[in-house]
Amino acid sequence: TIKFRNRILKPQTVINLNWNNDIKKRAILIEKNLFFSECTSKKDFLILKILQLMGKDEESFLYIQPKTQKAGLLFDIQKNIYLGFIVWTDKSLKNKKYAILRQIFITNEERRKGYGTKLLKFWIKTFADKINERYCIESPNKLSQKMLISLGHAKIEGQYIKAGKCFFI
């Protein structure tokens, strides 16, 4: 159970899309039924925390630091479910500002359906490209590397992955 504003809630209640109606009001359409909403409220960050707990066994897992990081939730309005999230920061490196992707996560049930790629492409277009034509990824795992290669943002050279539009820290 989770305590929120003097109420005890079940995680299933929190990750029900109807629990936080405000998120739907400010959501951005990615494509039919697929929406993105940047985390701005305590409710948003609580949903994110529950989703992070669902993925805590993932390689390179991190918890969000709301004061220094930004995050967004991906959801399907027709299925009435959260599909995943993305966490990033804006940071200056060598006197240039970049968007730095810290974490991208899609729930186990919704993997291998293209949602991670759609979320990444949306994030690049909507956030990263507005900061700099290149973006940074922190410690990409094998799945993230495959996604970057499929998008043409990185390539394989021998046994190494070489960055292109993105670079790694």
Residue 119: helix, strand or coil by DSSP?
helix
Q: What are phi and psi for residue 165, nearest 5 degrees?
A: -65, -25
Q: Which amino acid is at 1?
A: T
**What pLDDT band is residue 121 in, cutting at 50, 70 and 90?**
very high
Single out the residue of 38, 22, 19 nearest to residue 30, CA to CA.
38
How far is the first Cα of the chain from the last one, in angstroms, to the nearest whole number? 36
**pLDDT in the model for residue 143:** 86
Question: Is residue 139 predicted with pLDDT exceeding 70?
Answer: yes
Q: Whole-prediction pTM value?
A: 0.89
- CA–CA gap between residue 92 and residue 136 (Å, rounded): 11
- The two tokens of residue 59 are 């390689």
Residues 58-116: tens digit of each pLDDT: 555 556 677 789 999 999 999 999 999 999 999 888 889 999 999 999 999 999 999 99
**Could you tell me the domains of the chain?**
2-168 (3.40.630.30)
**pLDDT in the model for residue 131:** 95
Residue 155: helix, strand or coil by DSSP?
strand
